[in-house]
Amino acid sequence: METVVVDHPLVVDALATIRDVDTPNALFRQNLERIGMLLIAEATRSLPTIDDTVTTPLTTTAAERLAAQPVIVPILRAGLGFLRPAQDLLPNADIGFVGIARNEETAEPEPYVNKLPNEIGNRPVIVVDPMLATGGSLVHTLHLLVERGAEQPITIVVALAAPEGIAAVEASGIDARLFTAVIDERLNEHAFIVPGLGDAGDRQFGTG
């Protein structure tokens, strides 16, 4: 798996804010979206384009357009934090949703939603989720996408990644490209990323 750490100054600035335990939920969401916008822009740098023409107020000139609109797949619920920047950048993309909860006793993924577009083949697929911890949720999602005919490599965008999660994706055998703001040290005994930022879902939406 290709792994790209995007160390843009705006990314690392926003990363400092979302790591801070004193950052309120609204500011956390805002800075998570800042990171998402920059990471997704980098992750889509190699999207294929086709030649076209466009008529300006003065003349007709050569242009390029996306060859195919991507499919964006946020992993619920934390992945919703990257959905708005993804739609801002790719307003014509289709959106699929995969909902996976983590069993807090076993740290294993428990799926509860699978709403993927029927037509995935021949289109770039971008999976978004702020944190790659154990990799269980992400690997489950990647398998669902491959079963639907998604072309590889599949692009993955996360704010933070743990080495254990990266290893899990690599062990899945699925060809993927990972874009992240940082690779953290490790997982703790509760399978949380260290130093991390806590629970990304709770810090966006509350614990209710």
Q: What CATH number has the domain bearing residue 139?
A: 3.40.50.2020
Annotated catalytic, 102?
Answer: yes
Annotated catalytic, 106?
Answer: yes
d(CA 91, CA 181): 23
Q: Which pTM was predicted?
A: 0.92
d(CA 130, CA 20): 15
Annotated catalytic, 177?
Answer: no
Taking CA atoms, 192 is separated from 40, 106, 133, 140, 171, in Å, by 24, 12, 7, 18, 20
Whether 65 maps to a domain, the answer reads no
Whether 58 maps to a domain, the answer reads no
Tell me what pLDDT residue 105 has.
Answer: 72
Asked whether the beta carbons of 151 and 15 are under 8 A apart, the reply is no
| Average pLDDT by stretches of 10, the chain with 208 residues | 95 96 94 97 96 97 96 93 96 93 72 85 94 94 94 96 97 96 95 92 81
Render the burial of 20-41: b for 16+ CB within 10 Å, e for the rest: eeebeeeebbebbbbbbbbbbe
Whether 103 maps to a domain, the answer reads yes
d(CA 91, CA 84): 10
Tell me what pLDDT residue 107 has.
Answer: 64
Tell me what pLDDT residue 119 has.
Answer: 79
- 39 is in which domain, residue-wise? 2-46+71-205
Tell me what pLDDT residue 208 has.
Answer: 54
Whether 56 maps to a domain, the answer reads no
Whether 178 maps to a domain, the answer reads yes
In degrees and rounded to multiples of 5, residue 168 shows phi and psi of -65, -40
Q: Out of 17, 23, 84, 202, which one is annotated catalytic?
A: 202
Tell me what pLDDT residue 109 has.
Answer: 73
Asked whether the beta carbons of 98 and 141 are under 8 A apart, the reply is yes
Whether 88 maps to a domain, the answer reads yes
CA angle (59 as vertex; 54, 60 as ends), nearest 5? 30
Q: Out of 102, 123, 148, 177, which one is annotated catalytic?
A: 102
Q: Out of 7, 13, 106, 175, which one is annotated catalytic?
A: 106
Whether 64 maps to a domain, the answer reads no
Annotated catalytic, 175?
Answer: no
Q: With CA atoms as reference, report the closest residue to 49 among 62, 70, 65, 69.
A: 65
Number of domains within the chain: 1
